[in-house]
Amino acid sequence: MVMSVREIRVQFNPANTSECIGKIELHTISETEAKINESEEAFQKWSRMSSVARGEILQAMANLLMEHMEPLAGLASKEMGKTVPEMIGEVKRGASILRYFSQEGMRATGEVLPSASDDKMIFTKRVPLGVVAVITPWNFPIAIPLWKIAPALVYGNTVVWKPSIEVALTSQYIADLFVKAGLPDHVLNIVQGRGSKLGKVLIESPKVKAISFTGSNAVGQQILDVAGPTKKKIQLELGGKNAAIILADADLDLAAAKTIEGAMKQTGQRCTATSRVYIEAPVYDAVVEKLIENAKQIKAGVTMGPLASKQQFENVLEHIERAKGQGAKCIFGGKPVAELSEGYFVEPTLFTNVTHDMDLAKEEVFGPVLAIFKVADYEEAVRLANESDFGLSASIYTTNIQKAFDFIDRSEVGLVQINDETGGAEPQAPFGGIKNSGTGAREQGQAAKEFFTTLKTITINGIQYKE
């Protein structure tokens, strides 16, 4: 019998591309199929375990995550480039997610309903789906996997998890911690490899009952095309082209600081990053000056990390050059960081003279690039902010409460922020977008159970009430 040989992948630090930080063995197609089978078998016992006991394992995992915070954050920082403080924040967020969903094991999963018949009882209960495929990106290597895996597990599903190959070492660390937390064998199986190879196995397998994916629109569409006709449950969290609006009555210092934070935090590698800002004409010049001053405070290599990979680095630079070629004016940044040439560092970049027919107004850059627009008034700002194929997040800076609530109603997004940056999510709040930003049930909060469970209605006949 000839044994297949696993491919070895070497991981390098995007802040110092000559630094090897580790190696990982990639799984084969047959190994992935075996993992699916193992998870299907494990489901029988796991789904029958008390949901309280399942929640206790998540609580233990949260504690372990905090105990391993510094080494995990350090590894993740070296693997995909976020600064260590940003990664420590993500570890803490992951622990919060686990603690929130650990309590779901103690909450009601159904309700008793009245019947028109005196001798019948009707009630509902939520039941798990089976094997769930979780496919996650590199930009939030801790938080995004946990906000999918935690609800999947506590509601009684088993999981086959394919993380991005770019964060294979971080992902394996997390999977190993789940074992230490007491998770039974094969309830969570991790498969390491390229999405084009192993992802195809997961989305085509009839034993996989649901797919939760975060990533690019192109891959999301492929999942819909392949898995949609199979009637699997599909949850897609995709791209964004998130807009901020700054009105003349706003706290301009707050608005400028938060807009730059939203655009540049995590090097702009967030689906919720602020990508466009619309500024009312009377304060336009003043706000642009404040945006530049805030951008100057960012220190590449200290407060802002590199882009996560060579491909990401080249993609962002290509967006910048295309914007210049189409007539946009680069007023700050726009180049690789010369003194950090060993890594994939790009300067915080601001563009003006952007029109809505330019690619910079329409396409997700996924880097530290902000397009700035001047608008005549609130109405023009809302119209242009909504003029996008994406609909993930938007923010408005204003002291006018009527306009704030009007924007809540009229903004064509799933997440609305008032006087805050476009990013940010808490475990108890539903997360997701509309238009091309997402498909299926929302993630996190009570919305998570809508995706990871299905409702069963039970009627009991012949109930006798004796006096």
Q: Which residues are catalytic?
A: 237
Q: What is the DSSP string of 82-104?
A: --HHHHHHHHHHHHHHHHHHHHH
- Joined tokens for residue 215: 């990533």
Cα distances (angstroms) measured from residue 459 to each of 124, 126, 307, 441 = 9, 15, 56, 27
| Structure tokens that stand for 395 in this block | 């923010």
Residues paired with 455 in a beta bridge: 126
CA dihedral 66, 68, 70, 76 (to 10 degrees): -110
Element containing residue 71 per DSSP (H, E):
helix 69-80
Containing H/E element for 161?
strand 158-162
Listed in order, strand segments (DSSP E) in 175-292 are 188-190, 208-214, 233-237, 242-246, 274-280
HEC per residue, 264-286: HHHHHCCCCCEEEEEEEHHHHHH
SS3 76: helix
Residue 384 tokens, joined: 């242009």
User: 10 Å Cβ neighbour count for 412?
Assistant: 15
Which strands sit side by side in the sheet containing 329-332, from one edge to the other?
A: 329-332, 349-352, 369-375, 274-280, 242-246, 393-397, 415-418
Residues shown for the chain: 467
- Reading the block at residue 140, the tokens are 């939030």
Contact between 245 and 346 under an 8 Å Cβ cutoff? The reply is: no
The secondary element (H helix, E strand) that includes residue 416 is strand 415-418
